[in-house]
Structure 1
């Protein structure tokens, strides 16, 4: 038995608006959507570069609730891009909120965090240096010992 692929599947409070936001913020393209006669989006797929993210409207009758409905999300989606600062700026222009400005991080990326209008958290970063696992652990330990982990 082998795993072929893994997809993020987001539940959002307004799938039509989310599709537009992901297009405008991240340059994602809609592959297709399935819409109920009522207009509720049951399933949509978007291409984020070569990767697919699936999404749907809420289905509370089946226990499927959006991050905005529950007021939190335990998941961050990491977008690895060619220019994190520019992608973050674009997302902010179309309605994301900034959680953490882009900064150089101990793990060899420049990254920052935005939250989309639907409550999902996006860590957006680009590569700045190759870091071995041992060096990454050393830097992480030093960062945690500094008492200022938000600086990483």
Structure 2
């Protein structure tokens, strides 16, 4: 096998119960699992999966390798990052996430920038925004209306 050093940027999610998270992401976002590496005590040391053709990494929380601190969104009181999924049928994708166990942070609504957009929180504390462009807008006019001339 050839070594592949293709430059990439990959979000790396930390959760409690990574195996359950992989199952949730498959149900909610049609994730395709690529790799699952088990670790001690049944925890997952590493997993890789794709959503919308983009790769994400995932692992169980291992405070013992992080200065004794948990790094899950639940332990941290939330996540400072929102993962954005853009594409067609946002209504169906949003409902699919809810049916899989996500909760609504912001309901789907048409936004001034031309997208139908909403945010959900997965059962592991990570936030996901979902959007579909529903109309073209002139960004210079939007910025001017907001008091921010281009």
Question: TM-score, normalised to structure 2's length?
Answer: 0.86
Alignment of 1:34-113 (within 5 A): 34-63=37-66, 65-113=71-119
Question: 3-state DSSP class of the match of 2:23?
Answer: helix
Q: For this pair of structures, how many residues does the alignment match?
A: 140
2:29 counterpart of 1:23: no
Offset of 1:37 from its aligned partner? 4.3
Give 1:129 deviation, angstroms: 2.1
Q: Give SS of 1:106's match.
A: coil
4+ residue stretches of structure 1 with deviation over 4 A?
Answer: none
Per-residue Cα deviation, 1:41-89 (whole angstroms, up to 9, x for no partner): 0110111121101111001112251111222111101001211111111
Query: What stretches of structure 1 of length at least 5 have no aligned partner?
Result: 143-152
- C-alpha contact (below 8 Å) 1:13/1:69 kept by paired residues: no
Cα RMSD for the two superposed structures: 1.8
Partner of 2:119, secondary structure, is strand
- 5+ residue gaps, structure 2, are 1-5
